[in-house]
Structure formats: C-alpha cells, structure tokens
Structure 1
Amino acid sequence: MPASWRFDAIGTTWEIVTERPVPGAVRREVTARIDAFDRAWSRFRDDSDVTALARTGGSIPAPEDAVPMLDALAGVSDATGGAVNPLVGASLDALGYDARYSFHDADPVAAPVDWRERLTWQGGRLALTEPAMVDVGALGKGRLVDLVLGILSFTESGDLTVDAGGDLAVRGRPQRIGLEHPFDSHRAVGVWEVTDAALCASAINRRAWPSAAGATLHHVLDARTGQPVRTIAATWAMAPDAMTADAIATALFFDGGPRLAHDWGVEWVRMTTDGRVEWSRGCRADLFVRTTAGPGTAPVSRPNSLER
C-alpha cells in the first residue's frame, strides 16, 4: 500500500505519496528546504529576506532560486504586457491580502511598470533601487514542489507524487487528476492524466474575500491596475516541471498567456467566469464539454464529481 505524508507549510496542505514511508532523515531534509524557501521568499514573514528588502531597499545576497524564478517571471511579464509583475506585493496589501491577513481593502494600487529598472538579480545579489515587496507567488509554489520532488527522487525509488494544495508533480505510475470546478468544489470540468509531469492550477475562488463595498476580491491581480481579474475563473497547465506549469497557470489569466504556453510547449485548460472552457491544441485532458474538437471553446455540459 502507498504511504501518505501530510503536513501544512507555506499556507497550504501538502501530501507526499510514496511506495514506502519517507524516512525521518528525508522528512527533516524536506522540512528544512521548505522552511529555507519560506524564510527567503515569504512576504508574510517578518524575518524573510524579501521583507527585509522591502523595508529599506538596497541589496542583499540573492536567495537560492532567485535567478530561475525571476528570469521566468520576466518572461511571463513580457508575454502578458506587464499584467504579471513581481513587485505586485503592495497591490495585494492594498486589497487586504497582507501579512496580517486583514482583508481590509483600500483603493487599488498598480504595481510599478518599470519594475525591471528597480529590481535586479544578477551577480549573486538581489537588489531594489527603493523599498518594495517582491512577490513570487505567480510561480513560487511550483518551484518549491520541484525542489521537494528533487530531494525525494534522489532518495526514494518507485512511484512518487508531491501535491502542494493542488500544484503537483508525479513520477512513475500515472495519476488521474480531477479539474475542480471553480464555482462548486464538489464538481469537475474534466480529468487529466499526469505521467512524469507536473499539473498546476489557479482559481479565483481560492484566497477570496469580500470587499468593504460587498464585491468579491481575490489574489489573482492585474498588476497594471491592482484590480482582481474578472474574466477568467480557473486555469490548469501541464509541463515537465511544476515551476513552468505554475507560471503558465498564472499567465493564462491574461491575454498573451496562451501564446506563451505555446512557446514553452505547455498544454493548458482554462474556464472563463461566464462558464466557457478553453483548451490548447493537442490538450490531452478529458473535458466535460459539448464538443471535444480542439483547440477550442465550449460550455461545460456535465461537470461530474471526481476523486483523484
């Protein structure tokens, strides 16, 4: 029987499924790697590297993963016309998704369009010309899934699944994953078989809260306006690694996302807020829509309950 290790970290529930129980030494290595990543990149921690940089600006030794994550974020930002921006932290804070989880919103704040003039990550240094909060939420969880998978793949043989709150990577036996309907968690818009790959999802019903005016706010913002996205409800992307899948799942909320997915060789599905499902050419997900010709757009016809 497979062994399951469940724990909470970085604000979500993790589940690691292996053929045998993960040894204590490996568990400690995984836990230490997650904590190191969190201490470097969490904008919710007073003692993190990015929080220290946000207080004063200037330069600090670049945390591990700065180059691959910020290089990828630069590509996503270019593809989406600046809708994705690693200096979006102040925009999230303004809507109440802050370090205290106050959920007390104020006027929206657009992220600086010249972020690449303000933020640099070369030469082993992470630097800001003035204080700002770096937020790698567009792909950071996917990067951490890859790091954890790397530790486990080095020590564990056989089938392996790392699931961090819906961002998951699979090695070995294929896993059939239900694509949760963003408006009803008991239903699905389809199912996707994942084999030696990563599947990442994002949706506006996760990390959502009411505004003072009564509207629903959520964490997926257009950095150009500081406002939540209102046209796309959920996205799913499959790639060889979770950081790439996570980045594309974010990009798909905006114009330019599908083109970037094509350029990076990523399959995808997304659902609009009016209930239509769109998918990429050659997408192998089994979607519950009225037509299966792709690439295309179709309304959901019969979202079913699914268990992974």
Structure 2
Amino acid sequence: MSTPTATGSTWTFDAIGTSWAIDSAAPLPSVARDAVSAVIERFDHAWSRFRDDSLVTALAEGRAASVALPVETDADADADAMFSLYDELDRATAGAVNPLVGDSLARLGYDARLTLAPRGDARPAAAWRDVLSWSDGELALARPATVDVGAVGKGRLVDLVLAALAPHVDGDLVVDASGDLAVRGAAVRIGLEHPYDPTRAIGVVTVENAALCASAINRRAWGDGLHHVLDARTGVPVRAYAATWALADTAMRADALATALFFDGGPELAASWNAPWVRMSTDGRVEWSPGFPGEIFS
C-alpha cells in the first residue's frame, strides 16, 4: 500500500519492527513527537512478544500466571478493546483468528528471536477462551502461552498515536505504519499495492477521516511458502488469499478485518460493520465489497 507524497511535512521513524510516516501540514513540535514515542513504548512494553521485558513475554515464559495492566498507561483499556474484538473475529471466522497463535507462529520460525527456522510440524493454537482472561486491570493465563495481538495490535497503536497527536496538531494528519494507516481531515488517495509486484497497484481508494489497513502474504514471509498469516485452527499459513484491504472508522477495526478477510466469514463481518474491503486470491482474482470508495484496475 502506498501513500501520496506529503505536501506538508513528513516525520519518518522505525518502531515495533516496521517503518512509520506521519504526514502533517507543518513540522510536528517536539512535544508531539515525545507523546508519540511514549505511546509506542508503553504499548510495545505491554504487548510485544519480541521483547524480553514485555508483559506477554512474562506470561509466555511462565514467569507469571497473571500480569497487572497499569491503568495509567491505558494497557487495561487496550486489553478490553483488543480481546473483545478478538471475540468477534473468532466467532465470525469459526476460530481461524485467535490471540494465542503466537506459539504456532514460533513453531514455524516466526519466534521472538526471528530465527525463521521451523521446528517441527504446524500445530493449532490453543482454545484461547479456555486459557486467557482479562479483568480489573489484570491479564491472566491458565497455563503458559504466547499472546500475539498481530491481528489487531498495529491498528490499535495507529489509533493511539493519532489520539496522542490530536492535542498538539491542528489540521490534516496521516499516520501510516507500513500498511495500516489513519487519516484525519482531507481525503487522500491510496494505492493498493500488488502483492506480487510492489511496482504496481491493483487499484486506488479514497480515505477521509477513516482508516485503511492491509495485509499480505508476501510481507513477513520466509522458507518454503511460510508467512505470518496462519489459520489458528491448523497452525498452517493461509493459501487461498494473497492480500486484503479494509476500511473502517478506526485502524484497529480495519486491521481486524484485513485479517478476517483471509477466511470465510470475513466479508460477512465487514458487511455487519458497513466496512468496505478488497481482497486478492493467490490465483490473481480480485473481489471487493459493494460501494467500495475507489477503483479496481482490470
């Protein structure tokens, strides 16, 4: 997914293992940049399975059966927002989307050290409702397991960054975290990158005061056909679809739909949210929702 060149100022940086770009009419003041950095650090410390000191790593390694979610850092609010959304995703996709898919990913090599070296056959994720619980500022697991919020987490963080900028920045804003983006203000046209040829677009979409998120099997891919989008019921990478795009009122919901659209039930969930979408199958066919606010090239 590509964004047009900003006519104002663009702040680029790397965080949570990906590239970010924030477009604004004028350069961001230092207080705004500091607010963004603080939000990202707090979120990463809570939810990154790639950090030795994160809360979810403590749970995965069995160093704690439960962890406190400090209210002052909004981690408690994050947990309720993300896991409530996972509940919807789970039901819509008949269990294909699951926040305990981290162990399945690690088994295929997408582990905390990014070894990209599979160790054994694929395994399904644990039945997360039997293992994971959250309430009253606490996240708990009935047994050690790896929480991976990848289906919704980056979108959630984009929303948090946009909210952190709001008190400090007037006018139009685009927060882009390498394919998950939110637009405040004037409409922007976004190219939908072809999953097999990054020099081409399969279409364009107009985004105005909304969010657009994408997912593709060519990103975070390794080995012999391995990639990061797994069916939690089997632990095996998905094969039917190559890329998805979804629009929603928040980046977290758009991110969730971009994952759900790899499975049966995804389009129905998008329809229930009145959220436009596009997806491309691995044989090159493209589907899109009625009323999609853009153009798909033939």
Report the TM-score, using the length of structure 1 for normalisation: 0.91
SS in 1 for 2:88: helix
Q: How far apart are 1:61 and its partner, in Å?
A: 1.3
Q: Is the 8 A contact 2:35 2:165 kept in 1?
A: no
The residue that corresponds to 2:273 in the other structure is: 264
For 1:109 and 1:117, the matched residues in 2 are separated by 17
SS in 2 for 1:187: strand
Counterpart residue type for residue 41 of structure 1: W
The residue that corresponds to 1:3 in the other structure is: 9
SS in 1 for 2:166: helix
The residue that corresponds to 2:67 in the other structure is: 60
Q: How far apart are 1:123 and its partner, in Å?
A: 2.1
Count of residue pairs the alignment pairs up: 284
Q: Does 1:216 align with 2:237?
A: no
Q: How far apart are 1:115 and its partner, in Å?
A: 1.2
The residue that corresponds to 1:165 in the other structure is: 178
Q: Aligned runs of 1:152-301 on 2, under 5 Å? A: 152-210=165-223, 215-289=224-298
Q: Deviations over 1:92-149 (max 9, x none)?
A: 000100111101012112101x210210112221110000011100010000000000
The residue that corresponds to 1:77 in the other structure is: 90
Counterpart residue type for residue 15 of structure 1: A
For 1:252 and 1:153, the matched residues in 2 are separated by 31
Q: Is the 8 A contact 2:39 2:164 kept in 1?
A: no
Q: Aligned runs of 1:16-27 on 2, under 5 Å? A: 16-27=22-33
Counterpart residue type for residue 266 of structure 1: A
5+ long unaligned stretches in structure 1 = 290-308
Counterpart residue type for residue 52 of structure 2: D
**Mean Cα displacement is larger for which, 194-203 or 57-66?**
57-66
Q: Aligned runs of 1:36-115 on 2, under 5 Å? A: 36-56=42-62, 58-62=65-69, 63-64=75-76, 65-106=78-119, 107-112=121-126, 114-115=127-128
Counterpart residue type for residue 248 of structure 2: A
For 2:38 and 2:175, the matched residues in 1 are separated by 16
Q: Deviations over 1:37-85 (max 9, x none)?
A: 0000000000000000112251111334000001001110111010000
Q: CA RMSD in A?
A: 0.9
Counterpart residue type for residue 28 of structure 2: V
SS in 2 for 1:262: helix
- Runs (4+) off by over 2 Å: none
SS in 2 for 1:155: coil
Once the two structures are aligned, what percentage of the paired residues are identical?
Answer: 60
5+ long unaligned stretches in structure 2 = 1-6, 70-74
Q: How far apart are 1:172 and its partner, in Å?
A: 1.2
SS in 1 for 2:155: helix
SS in 2 for 1:132: coil
Q: Does 1:147 align with 2:153?
A: no
SS in 1 for 2:60: helix
For 2:279 and 2:167, the matched residues in 1 are separated by 34
Q: Is the 8 A contact 2:56 2:146 kept in 1?
A: yes
Choose which of 25, 29, 44 in structure 1 pairs with 2:35.
29
